[in-house]
Amino acid sequence: MTVFVAGGSGTIGIPLVRALVAAGHQVTALTRSSSKQDELRALGASVAVADALNRDALGAAVQAAHPTHVIHQLTALPKDGVRRASDLEATNRLRIDGTRNLLEAAVQAGVRRFLVGSFAILSPRGAAAAAPDDAAAAAVRSMESQVLEASARGAIEGVVLRYGLFYGLDAPSTTAMIDMVRKRRLPVIRGDAGQLPVISIEDAVSATVRALDAAAPGAAYDIVDDRAVSFTEIVDAIAEYTGSAPPRRVPAWLPRLVAPYMARVTSVRMPLSNAKAKAELGWRPKYATMRDGLAQMLRHAA
Ligand SMILES: NC(=O)c1ccc[n+]([C@@H]2O[C@H](COP(=O)([O-])OP(=O)(O)OC[C@H]3O[C@@H](n4cnc5c(N)ncnc54)[C@H](OP(=O)(O)O)[C@@H]3O)[C@@H](O)[C@H]2O)c1
């Protein structure tokens, strides 16, 4: 296959490009930044430099790559984490306008299949629990429905992959958490009843590669591991596996006051099933649970 990866230089993009090249596909990775070209070429990909919000430039980049498949992994989240809803504005724009531009470019270039990486917690089911009228949830809803509607009208084969929260030693969110746990700066929440859907980046990549040909057109899949976890369980596990002091325990109102967006996300109760992804994609997560994944990754790194 000839695969165009929008977001090819991102946290999932880099290992995804590497895995696609290893599987024998021709890959073009999109970035806005010429300075990332060498790194992407070293992975074995061709590079397209364009802004996804520039409709004409993106259209030309997709046409030039002649892809059979497009994978949409665009986000613009702050590198030091999302603290408030306004931190999501640039990503919301990419999910609405960037998706429209990329989808239009793909249809015009005669692309067969369009995969979009979505975020389970803000997907239509999760959003009801997390935030019914939130702009971020509306943007995810727009992104998913644009792809599924294009698929329903036969313009392209659209597939939605609803990833759990990413983790891995290459994920900035995980390394920041490890650093904070080591310094005993990341508290856990008393009575934390959250059930967060999670997935290692390695497993998100393998599911995405499988979905290129195995997913049903017009389908949405929850790409999560076998068991949801609470934020407290994650922090406690990092402390245990890194030999750090036990995290401080704080009442739930404190994070709601200091970091309202994070507090809302971490209190989500969303135990999703990966049964459909396992059955239809022929995929299994390498790490059944986040505890397994973190234990193995941290042991390996040590
Ligand atoms: N992180 C998570 O926990 C998480 C969880 C669930 C789902 N997801 C999904 O995973 C995907 C990507 O997440 P990520 O963590 O890999 O993001 P990331 O590391 O922030 O990477 C973002 C990518 O988007 C590109 N990009 C941003 N703005 C662009 C623009 N205007 N035009 C062209 N490219 C642009 C960046 O390219 P340049 O900067 O090189 O231009 C980069 O390749 C998304 O589909 C997201 O919904 C993430």
How confident is the model over 91-103, as pLDDT tens digits? 999 999 999 999 9
Quick one: pLDDT at residue 54?
Answer: 98
Q: Tokens for 296?
A: 């193995």
The CA distance from 226 to 99, in Å, is 30
Quick one: pLDDT at residue 261?
Answer: 78
The sign of the CA dihedral 157, 171, 297, 295 is negative
Task: Tell how strand 220-223 and strand 157-163 pair up.
Answer: parallel
Q: Which of 72, 70, 126 is nearest to 94 (CA)?
A: 72
Quick one: pLDDT at residue 164?
Answer: 97
Q: How far is the CA of 127 from the centre of ligand 1 (A)?
A: 20
Q: How far is the CA of 8 from the centre of ligand 1 (A)?
A: 8
Q: Which ligand 1 atom is at minimum distance from the Cα of 29?
A: 43
Query: Atom 14 in ligand 1: which residue has the minimum CA distance?
Result: 11
Q: Is the CB of 230 under 6 A from ligand 1?
A: no
The CA distance from 33 to 24, in Å, is 26
Q: Which ligand 1 atom is at minimum distance from the Cα of 8?
A: 43
**Strands (DSSP E) along 122-279, which ranges?**
157-163, 165-167, 188-189, 198-200, 220-223, 249-250
The SS3 call for residue 115 is strand
Quick one: pLDDT at residue 260?
Answer: 81
Quick one: pLDDT at residue 80?
Answer: 76
Quick one: pLDDT at residue 130?
Answer: 57
CA 178 to mean position of chain CA atoms: 20
Task: Say if residues 109 and 63 touch (Cβ distance below 8 Å).
Answer: yes
Phi, psi torsion values for 259, nearest 5 degrees = -140, 75
**CB neighbour list of residue 299: distance below 8 Å, 6 or more residues apart:** 241
**CB neighbour list of residue 190: distance below 8 Å, 6 or more residues apart:** 249, 250, 251, 252
The CA distance from 292 to 290, in Å, is 5
Question: Exposure string (b/e) for 148-183, b if CB count within 10 Å is 16 or more?
Answer: bebbeeeebbbbbbbbbbbbbbbbebbeebbebbee
Give the chain's mean pLDDT. 94
Low-confidence ranges of the chain (pLDDT < 50): none
The CA distance from 281 to 286, in Å, is 14
Query: Atom 44 in ligand 1: which residue has the minimum CA distance?
Result: 73
Quick one: pLDDT at residue 133?
Answer: 59
The SS3 call for residue 1 is coil
Q: How far is the CA of 56 from the centre of ligand 1 (A)?
A: 20
The CA distance from 121 to 102, in Å, is 23
CA 108 to mean position of chain CA atoms: 26
